[in-house]
Amino acid sequence: MQQYRTHTCSELRKTDIDKNVYLAGWIHSRRDHGGVLFIDLRDNYGLTQVVVYPAVAFLDEVSRLPKETVIRFGGKVAFRSEENVNPKLPTGEIEVVADSFEVLGTCDALPLNVFPEDDAPEDLRLTYRFLDLRRSKLHQNIMLRSDVIASMRRRMWDLGFKEFQTPILTSSSPEGARDYLVPSRIHPGKFYALPQAPQQFKQLLMISGFDRYFQIAPCFRDEDARADRSPGEFYQLDIEMSFVNQDDIFKVVESLIHGIFAEFSKKTMDAPPFVRIPFRESMIKYGTDKPDLRIPIEMRDCTAIFAQSGFKVFRGAIETGAVVRAIPVKGIAKNPRNFFDKMVDHATTIGAKGLAYLQWLDAGVKGPLLKFLTPEEVKSIEALCGVGLGDVVFFICDTPQTTNKLSGELRVKLGKDLGMIDPDAFKFCWIVDFPMYEWDEENKCVAFSHNPFSMPQGGMEALSSKQPLDILAYQYDIVCNGIELSSGAIRNHQPEIMYRAFEIAGYPKETVDERFGAMINAFKLGAPPHGGIAPGVDRIVMLLADEQNIREIIAFPMNQRAQDLMMNAPATVTQKQLRELHIKVVEHS
């Protein structure tokens, strides 16, 4: 076997002058002066300039090799005179004078440039992902991902956690997202499901007494994509701990998350403990359970003020269950009329019935809304929103759910348009006290709002005495810059509370036994109190790489329509395969 190289393309320095070396890599770029030829040779580690002089017989042959040809050069490391040093490269003080070469891999015309890194259509990038991955930005992102995952593992081991594997072929669970199903050959008509998360397995490992579990776990959910949500599969740093309360978990996760972010990013961030915001408060202040705290706008519930006011549009709506949300913004009262028109326009585009506002100007309070309000009511708004001269308050009035959605969107829109978002900051928070149940409008019933295995706050007592929709759960999310990084809970490990919790959501005891048999049996045979969380690996890397799209930190992502354009998945299979799996494809009418 020949030795392909003596050094990598980022290794050679002035101290290596006169050494005879071999370098192997891709032809990154070429500068052909007719007499002398410069080639930047690239590998995973960097670039080195190779010079080919007319003295060698192969100058002409090498000058014809296309970019991205894989080649090995032999030669001597040479000093570059001062004016020829390239300060942009770590190897810029030297060059390799070629005395031999060998093509290791030829290259045809490229469908997209590796260098320079011009914008290219995403479908082309995905079809030729191996070329895209050669490009510096994506290559660095994937290396960062590897380093982040290595750091996660190291930190988890240091915190006393053990790593486990759990099954990929498992059974479908009735709650949650759509499953990916895998037909069974041996059992006609039966299906495995790919795990949406190793939720039940990690709880069972706690019941098995392993105390501290983690796994870089693949999760499969058949749901539609978003910019921060890859279709099909994604990875979680799955964590579970025994004999812990919520604060114990927060402490571990804060140390882990802050450690990772501080290790891999120069952006500013608050030290732990992270701010904790109850779910209901978050919905009012930010209109969402994943607030971007970089935006310094806190909204207020103004329903009480308008319920009594002379503004009939709001008062009438409030009488039929609407709420009014105030969006106070500092220092923009003097913005031109055009700005306010555009905001109103945008509000109606996203579905608002309108967008009222008040401006606090030198000449007094102004705005389309003013004539309907008494001076006392304006004072109340001032006090509630903490506004004064130079400030503006926008108002949204709609059903509680729609108000949250619209005001939350407008808050982000204002933050972006007004340049309020610090691009060099990470703002973390915990969202806590999620409701255990919510009203399912589609099926007109009480449903679990998050994980059905979460422990209700107040336990059996709360389940028996409170209105279902008032019961809170030990359920929490960690949020960074408006992106939900992680969701977790203290689990319900007591079978009686479990049966009762499911009963409220409409599942009789028999159904629980049937669908969660393994879990409920385990809970009856000595289950420790336990809880956990599962930070999204992809989203963490996305934030650290400062990418707006999750596909930029995944080596081989699917497109928005859940297709792998490179491997051509999904694809049809042979009749033989279908027969073996007892599957018949029927046309949809």
Partner RNA sequence: GGGCUGGUAGUUCAGCUGGUUAGAACGCCGGCCUGUCAAGCCGGAGGUCACGAGUUCGAGCCUCGUCCAGCCCGCCA
Name the residues that contact RNA, by CB under 7 A: 29, 31-36, 38, 40, 49, 51, 53-54, 66-67, 80, 83-86, 88-89, 92, 95, 109-113, 116, 118-124, 175-178, 196-197, 199, 221, 223-229, 349, 405, 442, 447-453, 487, 549, 551, 559-561, 563
- Locate all alpha helices (DSSP H) within 466-536, ordered by sequence: 495-504, 509-515, 517-523
* Helix/strand/coil percent split, the chain, to 5: 30, 25, 40
- Closest separation between CB of residue 279 and RNA, Å? 13
Asked if residues 428 and 478 have their Cβ atoms less than 8 Å apart, the reply is: yes
Asked if residues 207 and 522 have their Cβ atoms less than 8 Å apart, the reply is: yes
- Locate all alpha helices (DSSP H) within 68-135, ordered by sequence: 122-127, 129-132
- Closest separation between CB of residue 176 and RNA, Å? 3
- Closest separation between CB of residue 90 and RNA, Å? 12
* d(C-alpha 133, C-alpha 140), whole Å: 9
Nearer to RNA, 29 or 151 (CB): 29
Nearer to RNA, 111 or 188 (CB): 111
Nearer to RNA, 149 or 227 (CB): 227
- Closest separation between CB of residue 346 and RNA, Å? 11
Strands (E), 521-580: 530-533
- Closest separation between CB of residue 382 and RNA, Å? 32
Nearer to RNA, 34 or 321 (CB): 34
Nearer to RNA, 139 or 315 (CB): 139
* d(C-alpha 143, C-alpha 38), whole Å: 28
Asked if residues 366 and 358 have their Cβ atoms less than 8 Å apart, the reply is: yes
Nearer to RNA, 95 or 292 (CB): 95
Nearer to RNA, 106 or 465 (CB): 106
- Strand pairing category for 364-366 and 212-221: unpaired
| Cβ count within 10 A of residue 138 | 22
Cα pseudo-dihedral 68, 70, 75, 79, rounded to 10: 30
- Closest separation between CB of residue 412 and RNA, Å? 10
Cα pseudo-dihedral 498, 501, 503, 507, rounded to 10: -70
Nearer to RNA, 568 or 575 (CB): 568
- Closest separation between CB of residue 434 and RNA, Å? 9
- Closest separation between CB of residue 46 and RNA, Å? 12
